[in-house]
Structure 1
């Protein structure tokens, strides 16, 4: 029986930890996939694709220098997967084109689905879609005004209402009726649920780590993995730890 054919791949992701995590998870799901290189900005991605000619490329949409879409417009790749934190860039055309997308933070289930799609397309190549049209649609979307991000949050302390600068927030933790907002100096209570808060926060600066917790990435000191596989976070200058649910544990595999 002949050995399975190696598939050459490239990952272009401007966050090195996320790039390394994606490479590790892909290796577990798809042993025949050979990650040739990890690059972290657009010009490096363009150069590496032209030099290596990979069959599969994972492209972060927002990268320094050149966006993933600008890179894709200048190269020919059999199978493209765009990676983005902004779901407005995920267009329905991806479902039928030789292109897929992954939404950050990438769940194990969604990554496995993408691997299955890529394997099927490689095994039975279909007629290529008009990627020029699709890329133009994506470019128009990336040039639209970015979603508004919270700058200030109205929060309560007793009968007083305070304006809290989002830059001061260490984490949000949801309770039955309220959401606790923790800064370095004190805690506040707000009535906004996490599911409404999350889309208004910068996804590069705030990560959901549990169904009831969102943490500021700058506040994380280290991640610890227990023998049972559970992950907890220590924060800079804080005594408490935050639990990470299994659904989000992959974010900290390289920490």
Structure 2
């Protein structure tokens, strides 16, 4: 599932883009919609989008300034500018943008860009093949005052994001804040017992006690432990669950 963030100060335009993307591309999830650059930069750290549709004229930080700030990230999302200016190509490619779309964005233009995104994401995925075993995360260190405690990843029950921070819950129900993003966890735990079930949750399948049906064919995961935590499965992540549990 490709994760898309829309950064657009015109709410109607943002809603139209979201609606068209969802209609044209079943394997792309709009994980966040922001209406200004400052909020977008903060939200990116939490939701870790693969792609950003970025308006040029934003209140506060302009789109180009947001794109320039993103270049400092270890993992830079693909950037597609949305602009009212036809002659924007030079500026767009100065910050390594994948493409740009001129407002009002037509379905034909959007379909072309979505296809380009899919091809680029496939190239990125292919380049990672063979590297997973080297980057597989086995242990974490947690700061405990004057010492670092080592935690085996298989002792983790749940990884979750809250208030733009990331936490782990161990099998002993201990909760610790960590500096690794959810996206990094997802990538470095690929092929293990962990899978992403929601934009805010990564679960250890060995720690699932029950699966219950929820509103409109949605699912809830009941986890082991004293708290009997109920974790929702996002509609876009049901296939992830089915890859780990036969039902």
| TM-score, with structure 1 as normaliser | 0.44
Specify the structure having the higher radius of gyration (Cα). Answer: 1
| TM-score, with structure 2 as normaliser | 0.46
